[in-house]
Structure 1
């Protein structure tokens, strides 16, 4: 096969006449092109670093400031020597001509370097003023209190100032230094909001007990741990994010498959090609184009919409580790390994691993050339080496056994070289030998199977430690599995939207292949070599038990979407969250602690915060739907619950959430060696309903009005609690909402399909309260 081909740069033979040296010009040419590519990338990275470092300033602004200062200096006819030479002439016998010449020389010097230095200082001062003014402006969140569709004069003035101080043509990381730091809420406010959130879940005796624990914490230990958090918030960019990454993700010893990793699904109704290698060609090329834009910081900063024409910047820090990143297992804690550059991808097919170079002749491979490489892998009939087929199961099982096996068996020789090829790859690709498809004739079973395959596959055919796995199925459909510690789902969603939108633009030929021609001299993929002992079976056993227990159910809710919900003058997210509360009560006959993920990227290095969706107000509404209440009363309670939910969401987004604060106080208490019964009990409460909305962020990429078939299915994740549900949903266009539900077969309390039916009915029942048909008549 082609991977056996070796390009030899030079050969030499030693004879009595000397050394006969034979150079391979093609190999040397490739070395030259590779070096040229690396230097270009370094220059671009340096240039982008400078541009980002001086933003909202610019080179054009620098020239304006320096030239203006020079013109002012000349207009005022200022003496650059400050009268020095006039005084020298009084005491030293120097002719006027000499003094004139010396003055001209000094003027040339003083009008060059000093003007440049003073002009640069003035320019930097202006930049710092603009940056700090912008940071102060972005710290104000009064605009979030505006009623939807209305903008007050204070918000209009604020938007005008934000635009004025935001500079022109920002790059991805331009606003990083202008974003405010995440504020630390007061202990009193956090305890108060916590008690308010658990009140509907506790009886009077339980609540009084928790109230006493909170009061004791607020009086004694709370102020001490708060002092340390305040100190950290002044010193660090974000007082939460590093501890959140370490203690919630990297220190976890349980499998990351199902428990942490999540998935994204292909188009629902569009099947561009049935040729697996062709779909891989366009998809991988689109991903590499996105990486090139990311390396050049050419991706527009992601913003949060304030009005239809105004938005504010969000933190872009999580994009930095999207590519060339792997989670490395450790005995006690994992680490994230990020490479500045990687020129290859790792590919898995039928138990074999391959290293595929993404560049040739100093350029990125074209889609048809990538398809050519995938065809070579698919045509390879070689058998897996002993232990190779199920090697990736190590990444699916418990973390400590994987860390020990990695240290013992993969730290030297060809095992280390092959493992490096995977861990240092740009990303991981699986050419799956199964077929997955949304089948209109069998929608439930087909989508459920699709979701399970993306979430865990066979437990040994995805490298779960990579930042993300690109999965191409035998019939041409695709999906993605992402590791969670390096970033949250919206960041991966941004990449996924780009890939889905690029696929039809790159196009296919009539027979389903990528456009273009194969390359006649392209070196083939390299087969990775292993010498693997029997260390995998225990990890595979753990992973299979976990995967077999996951009950996945995905379905498109097509009865209505956000278009009708908006006509109800209700937030679509609040509408769905309250529907989930009603569905859960009907499903289990009780309420539970509910987690809804909210972003905090209005702040520097922000990640997520929790919105506790189960509130006293939402419970009151649910009970009204169970009892025989009037429609008017149910509507009133619904509006109160929706307003409460919106207020909580705003608080979470603007740094007023409670769960990250409670988490950080718990970490500090452990560092202090203090045991807090209050914090211990708070952090041990299970989230039996964990929910998340997947936002569509690049609406300009999809025209869902003209082409509703290009709707994305969104993605999902595994259940957080053994007896709970995980629910992910994506609002697609005006008329579609896709739901992804997960639970565990082993729990007698849960059934994903039953819960899905309850969600459908709850959505319809709540919409029915508004009697939109009657209003239309």
Structure 2
């Protein structure tokens, strides 16, 4: 193969006169450049560790401290109050050398102490969260001082992980508060006898077993960086033995109206380039541009794979990878993205991708549907991996996929909002990204990029290593860089020149026995049944957006969440336990907490929607308060989850915890935040609107709803449910969502629609109904 010849640095032949040695200077030069690049990376990583380790100070500040100490000593003053002389006594050098070295030692210790003090102050400042509970436009003096001090301490430009050690630890809420909040959240879902029974269970739990479990959690919080995240990753994600396709993985879509180029290879070239530029230029993630968020999830973004096990899966992460894995029409390829230490240009990557598209070779036996193993049950995949992929040619090829920076599928279908049925095409586009053909994605990879035949693109992400906002940040950057920075020529190709002597992409070789082929077929049957059961509906809501909502002085997220409550009530004739994800990345290694959106206030409003505007205000304020409490570590569900884990370790049963954690989330919701609006110029490019992404339903008889608030005038919704449930219908629920949002807007925008007396009458009546 051509790539094998490129890897040979020298050749020799045996002649009658002896050995004829022929060195390849080009190959040796490649080896030299590769080594130089490797050492540059090591030096860069070491430099970054030093800069990150001393933040918020700088390495150069050490020199300033040393000069200041030496200057004071030259003026015959002892700033150390005798410490320098004590250090001198333990140094076996001349008097002058002792003085200089002891001053350096003291200066270094003083510098390190100042860094620790600054870091402690920064940690105290980042532990203040009261700013989140203040009304917009009414900032307290305490918060103003806090903002000033935080900006001063973090004035130096930080690296991605500079804030990590300064972020506060997630606090363990008091058991009494969590139980009380749970009962409040459960009240609108239970009848009076059910609520009375649950109150008794909660009281018994709090008085007896709860306090015992709480002590273990407090101990863990003192010892571990985050008392939730490791258990959450292990028990919620990695221990699941069912398919991760649909059940766990989620997707992200391309622009709604625009496809930057119809050339598949060109779109792939720019997309791969943008992703690798993001890997190179990872920046700190901030809230409101100056409040740092935990960056721990970014560590496993690239070069990461979830590998199957018997009881639990394992996340494997490699330090770096210079290639990506590509799938096209049943064949797997390894595509090198670096040459002689430089990143290939988008035009060169397009050239390489086109080589794959033009490759006429057929799939090897069992190769085409090998990816179905990652879509089915986890234990059979583990068994096949142990028996047939632990050595030899199969291991080498599997390693290429798993160690790749990410996975790329060159899909042979066309997708997007096009043709005579744009609404139906959007739904099919969502299903394609969520599960595809169930064998043409590698669902174990941290994320997979899908490039369709017509140039449309999308993303499928594995959930255990990170949450959707982290992936959304990556995808925002990728779309914006592709369209606005890299761009295309007039005929739709990538810009730049191409070195046509590049070695072709390497076709991965397999030796797949019949047992593996049979298991891949079985896994495909399981995955296909799951995929066929998913009912996806994607629709842009264009009647209004956050612009009109904010004019009402209402949180857009609260507005939408209450609209979802109204839509569900109209769709199913009642209320349900509702999940909304809220991030907890204000804390170190924080992930998510649940906002229980169905509250007493929201259900009161839904029941009285035709009577009172005042109740909406109460419901909106309640929802925002619940969201803020979740973000600041005062949520319910992660605390109860960890208490349940401790009870399992202790071998004790809690009827209260068992019942709480078995309640189904029939309405699971998530907002995809737009985090980098500066990358999108919607005034000059209004068509470059992101569709956001979605996920499958959590409960078999429930809905999964994802939404993204785009610009001032649009909200995109992704609704999913299962065909097998006769009570759910994604399209019907989509209609209910649109109607609910319109009704709420009409209700709030028309001041004549309600009277104060009706508001006063409706509120106690609603409480009585609850």
Instruction: Tell me, yes or no, whether TM beats 0.5.
Output: yes
CA distance, structure 1, for counterparts of residue 707 and residue 456 of structure 2: 21
Query: Quick one: which of 212, 219, 233 aligns to 1:224?
Result: 212
Report the counterpart of residue 607 of structure 2 in structure 1: 623
Q: CA deviation at 1:517?
A: 2.1
Report the counterpart of residue 285 of structure 2 in structure 1: 302
Report the counterpart of residue 165 of structure 1 in structure 2: 153
Contact 1:81 1:106 in 2 (8 A): no
Query: Quick one: which of 385, 401, 404 aligns to 2:364?
Result: 385
1:332-384 CA deviation, whole Å, 9 max, x = no partner? 10000000011110000000000011111220100000001000000001100
CA distance, structure 2, for counterparts of residue 690 and residue 149 of structure 1: 32
Contact 2:297 2:466 in 1 (8 A): yes
CA distance, structure 1, for counterparts of residue 368 and residue 480 of structure 2: 34
Q: CA deviation at 1:6?
A: 4.5
Report the counterpart of residue 243 of structure 1 in structure 2: 231
CA spacing shift, 1:618–1:302, aligned 2, 3 Å: same
CA distance, structure 2, for counterparts of residue 111 and residue 700 of structure 1: 54
Matched, 1:522 2:502: yes
1:388-438 CA deviation, whole Å, 9 max, x = no partner? 000000000010110111101111111000000000000000000000021
Secondary structure (helix, strand or coil) at the match of 1:769 reads helix
Matched, 1:578 2:562: yes
Q: CA deviation at 1:79?
A: 12
Matched, 1:184 2:172: yes
1:288-326 CA deviation, whole Å, 9 max, x = no partner? 1111123xxxx1x21112xxxx63111111000000000
Query: Quick one: which of 211, 215, 218 aligns to 2:203?
Result: 215
1:706-747 CA deviation, whole Å, 9 max, x = no partner? 322111100000000000000000001111100000000000
TM-score for both structures, normalised by structure 1: 0.93
Matched residue count? 741
Equivalences for 1:88-487 in 2 at 5 Å?
Answer: 106=94, 108-294=96-282, 299=283, 301-305=284-288, 311-439=290-418, 441-487=420-466
CA distance, structure 2, for counterparts of residue 61 and residue 736 of structure 1: 49
CA distance, structure 2, for counterparts of residue 373 and residue 525 of structure 1: 7
Report the counterpart of residue 648 of structure 2 in structure 1: 670
Report the counterpart of residue 93 of structure 1 in structure 2: none
1:652-686 CA deviation, whole Å, 9 max, x = no partner? 00000010000000000000000111111111110
Q: Which range moves more in the overlay, 763-772 or 559-568? A: 763-772
CA distance, structure 2, for counterparts of residue 578 and residue 357 of structure 1: 49
Structure 1's consecutive aligned runs of 4 or more residues displaced over 3 angstroms after TM superposition are 1-7, 14-18, 77-82, 105-108, 772-775
CA distance, structure 1, for counterparts of residue 100 and residue 501 of structure 2: 56
Matched, 1:696 2:674: yes
Q: CA deviation at 1:60?
A: 2.5
CA spacing shift, 1:456–1:78, aligned 2, 3 Å: closer
CA distance, structure 2, for counterparts of residue 636 and residue 164 of structure 1: 42
CA distance, structure 2, for counterparts of residue 80 and residue 143 of structure 1: 40
Report the counterpart of residue 631 of structure 2 in structure 1: 653
Matched, 1:737 2:720: no
1:77-97 CA deviation, whole Å, 9 max, x = no partner? 569999x99xxxxxxxxxxxx
1:438-491 CA deviation, whole Å, 9 max, x = no partner? 127422111101100000000000000000001000000100000000000111
Contact 2:433 2:459 in 1 (8 A): yes
CA spacing shift, 1:169–1:365, aligned 2, 3 Å: same
Secondary structure (helix, strand or coil) at the match of 1:249 reads helix
Q: What stretches of structure 1 of length at least 5 have no aligned partner?
A: 86-104
CA spacing shift, 1:513–1:200, aligned 2, 3 Å: same
CA distance, structure 2, for counterparts of residue 78 and residue 751 of structure 1: 79
CA spacing shift, 1:139–1:78, aligned 2, 3 Å: closer
Secondary structure (helix, strand or coil) at the match of 2:608 reads helix
Contact 2:552 2:749 in 1 (8 A): no
CA distance, structure 1, for counterparts of residue 638 and residue 549 of structure 2: 31
CA distance, structure 1, for counterparts of residue 728 and residue 78 of structure 2: 83
Report the counterpart of residue 602 of structure 1 in structure 2: 586
Q: CA deviation at 1:160?
A: 1.1
Contact 2:370 2:520 in 1 (8 A): yes
Q: CA deviation at 1:136?
A: 1.0
CA spacing shift, 1:464–1:79, aligned 2, 3 Å: closer
Secondary structure (helix, strand or coil) at the match of 2:281 reads helix
Matched, 1:538 2:522: yes
Secondary structure (helix, strand or coil) at the match of 1:326 reads strand
Q: CA deviation at 1:773?
A: 9.5
Report the counterpart of residue 98 of structure 1 in structure 2: none
Contact 1:662 1:679 in 2 (8 A): yes
CA distance, structure 1, for counterparts of residue 78 and residue 462 of structure 2: 63
Contact 2:72 2:79 in 1 (8 A): no
Matched, 1:511 2:499: no
Query: Quick one: which of 548, 556, 559 aligns to 2:543?
Result: 559
Matched, 1:64 2:47: no
Secondary structure (helix, strand or coil) at the match of 2:247 reads coil
Secondary structure (helix, strand or coil) at the match of 1:551 reads strand
Contact 2:579 2:669 in 1 (8 A): yes
CA distance, structure 2, for counterparts of residue 493 and residue 570 of structure 1: 25
Q: CA deviation at 1:20?
A: 2.5
Q: What stretches of structure 2 of length at least 5 have no aligned partner?
A: 86-92, 754-770
CA distance, structure 2, for counterparts of residue 426 and residue 117 of structure 1: 44
Q: CA deviation at 1:158?
A: 1.0
CA distance, structure 2, for counterparts of residue 452 and residue 261 of structure 1: 12
Contact 1:70 1:111 in 2 (8 A): no
Report the counterpart of residue 762 of structure 2 in structure 1: none
Secondary structure (helix, strand or coil) at the match of 2:687 reads helix
Q: CA deviation at 1:518?
A: 2.1
Report the counterpart of residue 468 of structure 2 in structure 1: 489
Q: CA deviation at 1:546?
A: 0.3
Query: Quick one: which of 688, 705, 726 aligns to 1:710?
Result: 688
CA distance, structure 1, for counterparts of residue 751 and residue 10 of structure 2: 80
CA distance, structure 2, for counterparts of residue 513 and residue 166 of structure 1: 43
1:242-296 CA deviation, whole Å, 9 max, x = no partner? 00000000000010000000000001111111000000011101111111123xx
Contact 1:2 1:525 in 2 (8 A): no
CA distance, structure 1, for counterparts of residue 341 and residue 625 of structure 2: 53
Q: CA deviation at 1:5?
A: 5.3
CA distance, structure 2, for counterparts of residue 129 and residue 371 of structure 1: 52
CA distance, structure 2, for counterparts of residue 211 and residue 687 of structure 1: 21
CA distance, structure 2, for counterparts of residue 7 and residue 330 of structure 1: 35
CA distance, structure 2, for counterparts of residue 514 and residue 705 of structure 1: 25
1:524-566 CA deviation, whole Å, 9 max, x = no partner? 1000011112231110000000000000000111110000000
1:567-620 CA deviation, whole Å, 9 max, x = no partner? 111100000000000000111111100000000000000000000000111011
Q: CA deviation at 1:4?
A: 7.0
